[in-house]
Each structure stands twice: as structure tokens, then as C-alpha cells.
Amino acid sequence: MSLREKLLDALIDGHLGKGIVVTRQELIVHFPEEPVTYTGVFLSNSEIKTGSHSPTYEHFTIRAGRGRYRIHPQALFERMRERHILKDDEHPSNGFMTCSRENDP
């Protein structure tokens, strides 16, 4: 299992991060079996905005501050589908979190 999959699973299961935000230090501490040289740069190298800087990484993080990153919700949805938490055609917001400007007060 890749570190990306382990990270997403830990977030989904509530073992890591605060909501969709995780820190570099939390990642290092949560995965002591991985080299710090890898976990220490994993979130920054996975940044969506890094573009070709880290071509071997899947880009799914958004920097939220020094050492803090948001995980893109689509990455979480895809992992939840892979784990069969969600059906292929299901989206967590279907039916209970829909918003429409027309209905805003």
C-alpha cells in the first residue's frame, strides 16, 4: 500500500489530521515505519501547484500554511470508492449537502 493510500485511509478513519487538514509533523509521527526523508517531503511534493517539480508524485494536497496541507476532497472520494465506502455513482453530498443559490435566504 502506498503512503498516499495510507494517508487517505488514516484521514477517512479519523486517525490523522483535523478534518481534511494534516501537518507535516503529524504525518512523520503517524508513519514512523517510513523514512523521515520521505514523509518529511511527501505533502509538499504532492501539492497540486507543484506541477512538474515532482512528476513522480500524485498531486492531491493544497498548502494551507507552513507545514499544513489540505487534502483535495476528490482524492478522499476516490479512496472511499476504492474501499467500497461509497458506491461508484455515490457522492457524500448527494441528498444532504446540496446547495443552490436560488434557495439561499
91 inside domain: no
> Which amino acid is it at 62?
I
3 state DSSP class of 87: coil
- Decide if 7 is inside a domain: yes
Domain holding 8, by residue range, is 3-86
* pLDDT value of position 57: 76
Residue-level pLDDT at 102 = 40
97 in any annotated domain: no
Domain-embedded: residue 100: no
User: Is 93 within a domain?
Assistant: no
- Cα separation of 33 and 103, whole Å? 50
Task: Say if 98 falls within a structural domain.
Answer: no
Tally of domains in the chain: 1
Cell readout for 58 is 500524485
pLDDT by residue for the chain (105 residues), tens digit each?
999 999 999 999 999 999 999 999 999 999 999 999 999 999 999 998 865 566 777 899 999 999 999 999 999 999 999 999 988 776 656 544 333 334 333
The residue to which cell 478522499 is assigned: 76
pTM of the predicted structure, to 2 decimals: 0.80
**35 falls within a domain:** yes
